[in-house]
Chain A
Amino acid sequence: MFYREAGQFKTSYAADQQVFPILQDRIGVAVILGVAIFVVPFVANDFFLSAIAIPFLILALATIGLNVLTGYAGQLSLGTGGFMGVGAYACYKLTTIFPDVPIVVHVLLSGFAAAGIGMIFGLPSLRIKGLYLAVTTLAAQFFLEWCFIRIPWLYNYNASGAIEVPGRDLFGTMVTGASAGSVPRYFTVLAIVILLTVLVKNLLRGRIGRQWMMIRDMDIAAELMGVRPLYAKLSAFAVSSYLCGVAGAMFVFFYLGAAEPSAFSITLSFQVLFMAILGGLGSLVGCFFGAAFIWALPIILRAGPPLIGIPIAAETAFHITSMIVGALIVAFLILEPHGLARLWQIGKEKLRVWPFPYA
């Protein structure tokens, strides 16, 4: 009743092909965007913005990147952390070499460095697939991590070996560095994430996205039908790594402020992978659900018990979080392999037939 497309007629091809063909969806997305832009930054406090909202958006973008590769093109990757690192270090080098160019341009450009590296490590996917490929992406992960430690040029030969984000402004407002407020950073991140999400959504609807899905569902059949695996797989690696690279650059520039190579370890890869699985492989909205869930869960577990009067040591909370996340992943895989996105879809279907469950 609440979510019914009856009576919504399309009278042109353009109307039939729009991103959200159902009125309720358009209203829903507009409301969400409105809240994100006009309500959240002015209502939320500093902690919520910089410790929850900003990393959530950034990790959601990284999850979209991984989802393009794993969920849509069917190539399992464990190297997400490495590719995010490439983006971060590329952005760091770019902003050192060209300090006057706006930082957002650097962030968007640094993704291309990650895309290039990603394509190189995607080359084996033409010969091998599945679990074997996952191991070769681990090669990328460990090799890149080593590079961040051993190539001093990447971190400007400084003594600490870490990259420190310099202060940069955008239209006269500081958006990076120590003096940047959380609101400008939030807006910058939000703008980039919205832009790239819309781009990816359209990419997935188009020819390239359909080719990825054909490769995922059955690569040999796809090849017989005229999909060139070389282009399809490498483009998936390129787009995926681009998104991860941008996310990595934002992760350091708008969230962490400074990063050591260990920030991009395999732990980050797994974290993003969990977000993709729990959210739902092959679903864009799932990426946001998954990122929110995995990012918020530890915070809730740390803050929750003391609020209701159960004192719990930080370390214990950390261990329990790890256990709960692990158990949740197994439980999700068993109960709902398509993740939170599928639950969302079921909810919409229920709303469509409400109040007649048999309709």
Chain B
Amino acid sequence: MLYQIFVDPFVQMADMPDFLLQVIWEGFVAGVLYALIALGFVLIFKASGVFNFAQGIMVVFAGLTLVGLHEAGVPAYLALVLAIGVMAVLAIAVERFVMRPLVNQPDIILLMSTIGMTYFLIGLGEFVFGGEPKKMITEELGLPTGSTEIEIGERGLVILQHIDIAAAVIAIIMVAALALFFNKTRIGRALRAVADDHQAAQSVGISLNQIWAIVWFAAGIVALATGIMWGARSDVSFALEIVALKALPVLILGGFTSVPGAIVGGLIIGIGEKIGEIYWGPLVGGGIESWLAYMIALVFLLFRPQGLFGERIIERV
């Protein structure tokens, strides 16, 4: 038994390095997608202190809007623009009808309001677009399909799906753009000021309402990108919503307020859970992917409660 836990998986890894690489690549791609969802959380948490439980459903909703519009006969790129528009409307609506009346409420109330929003969006999405899974319009959007095989050593092969590579590239571009946006632009600086202290930011003339609308819109765009990428790998369906809950352990690992933390955490969770599932999963009957990420986060929390890059929480009485 001990041999099976501590030695055998590593023997397997050393035995088939190409398979290991393939597993790591799969984990990497999954990790990038987790990181993208986590990024949406982080954006909103940074600028308003709201733990946005609805980010997962926003991903689904954005993807569904895009596909639904295309199915209704709108050309792909116009559908993309319209989907962005829908996310903007959603952002403004959320700011106006949820965030503004709930200013200064405790964290738990804000969290629950986003859970309420989740249910509202699920109902709305199913009502408008129907509940069955839809195919993402990958080709119409000009995203690459197909795959490349890379030979490793003499007999090994690693298969890279082009769409996965595209996902990674888009994620990198998006993170870079967000970093620039946060650090170099006027609005970005205002965002960070709001995150530090609502009242102080307001007193120097930063409009909280405007900032929140912008942040929710940015999170909506991130959600749309995630929805496209994820939809291209599987279908766009409400099942994604449970997968999106995986972004929570990612956040725990990375810290709630750190953009690089979301990326690193996403990769750790993505790769960790794939390796765990493939090499250790069979020992306990498989399917451990559903909780391994949470367990990693749980154990990690016991040692570093603020996450890898999070700000230390200091409490005074």
Contacts and interface: CB of A to CB of B under 8 A. Distances in A.
A75 to B, nearest CB: 10
| Most chain B CB neighbours (cut-off 10 Å) among A150, A273, A323 | A323
Nearest to B297: A135
B24 interface: no
A69 to B, nearest CB: 12
Report, as a range, how many residues of chain B touch the other chain. Answer: 35 or more
Q: Do most interface residues of chain B lie in helix, strand or loop, or is the interface mixed?
A: helix
| Most chain A CB neighbours (cut-off 10 Å) among B121, B256, B290 | B290
Contact of B127 (A76, A323, A328, A330): A323
Contact of A136 (B98, B123, B256, B301): B301
A142 B249 CA distance: 12
Nearest to B294: A139
A139 B298 contact: yes
A124 B117 CA distance: 28
Interface in A315-346: 315-316, 318-330, 333-334, 337
Interface string A194-211: 000000000000000000
Contacts of A218: 317
Contacts of A220: 315, 317
A327 B117 CA distance: 7
Nearest to A126: B302
A266 B242 contact: yes
Contact of B126 (A76, A142, A322, A337): A322
| Most chain A CB neighbours (cut-off 10 Å) among B120, B251, B305 | B120
Nearest to B251: A135
Interface in A35-70: 70
Contacts of B97: 330
A329 B123 contact: no
Interface string B249-260: 101100010000
A319 B123 contact: yes
A322 B238 CA distance: 13
A128 B297 CA distance: 12
B288 A138 contact: no
Contacts of B248: 135, 138
A216 B242 CA distance: 30
Interface string B122-134: 1110110001000
B111 interface: yes
A329 B305 contact: no
Interface in B95-137: 97-98, 101-102, 105, 107-109, 111-113, 115-124, 126-127, 131
Interface of A: 70, 76, 124, 127-128, 130-132, 134-136, 138-139, 142-143, 145-146, 149-151, 218, 220-221, 224, 266, 270, 273-274, 277, 315-316, 318-330, 333-334, 337
10 contacts: A128-B305, A131-B256, A138-B245, A145-B291, A150-B284, A273-B112, A325-B119, A328-B116, A329-B112, A334-B101
